[in-house]
Amino acid sequence: MRMGFSLPSAAREPRHIPPRGTCDRTPRGYKVLAMSEQEHTTHGYSADKEALLKRLRRIEGQVRGVSRMVDEDNYCIDVLTQISAVNAALHKVSLALVQDHIGHCVVDAAARSAETGDATIVADKVEETAVAIGRLLR
């Protein structure tokens, strides 16, 4: 799976303060900047937002299907098979988000670290990413 990817503008224009889009937990403030730049920058998973939302709606429907199976007393093994399908679909969504996060937010943080000489910016981002992946592995 190859997702749309473009180098954050900071990497191409080293003096520029990078817009962070969904790469920051407290997005207030940057939104205006992001807005004015949205023609030439891709933020986080936003490029694939529609695809992600479509997949999530399908997963929601699959969960509803599991409920219906339980309600209609379907055979337990068949219900479990359907739950495995939901797990697999969720894993795909997680993986797409992880890939987008690394490709945008981590790469963007690396550029900011390079610009500012502050290695903790990218180190913190990488650690946060590893913690999130660790939660998925469980």
Q: How far apart are CA 124 and CA 24, in angstroms?
A: 12
Residues contacting a copy of itself: total by CB under 8 A: 82
Task: Give the orientation angle of helix 120-137 with respect to helix 76-100, to 10 degrees.
Answer: 170
Closest contact distance (angstroms) between CB of 116 and a copy of itself is 10
Closest contact distance (angstroms) between CB of 39 and a copy of itself is 16
- Of 28, 33, 34, 60, the residue nearest 46 (C-alpha): 34
Q: Counting contacts by CB under 8 A, is residue 33 touching a copy of itself?
A: no
Q: Counting contacts by CB under 8 A, is residue 36 touching a copy of itself?
A: no
| Residue 40 CA: distances (Å) to CA of 18, 37, 43, 50, 57 | 12, 6, 10, 19, 29
Closest contact distance (angstroms) between CB of 6 and a copy of itself is 6
Q: Counting contacts by CB under 8 A, is residue 35 touching a copy of itself?
A: no
Q: Counting contacts by CB under 8 A, is residue 81 touching a copy of itself?
A: yes
Which amino acid is it at 94? S
Q: Which of residues 49-68 bind a copy of itself (CB under 8 A)?
A: 49, 52-53, 56-57, 59-60, 63-64, 66-67
Q: Which of residues 106-125 bind a copy of itself (CB under 8 A)?
A: 106-107, 110-111, 113-114, 117, 119, 122-123
Q: Counting contacts by CB under 8 A, is residue 47 touching a copy of itself?
A: no
Residues 6+ apart with CB under 8 A from 1: 95, 96, 99
Q: Counting contacts by CB under 8 A, is residue 28 touching a copy of itself?
A: no
Reduce the DSSP state of residue 67 to 3 states and report it. helix
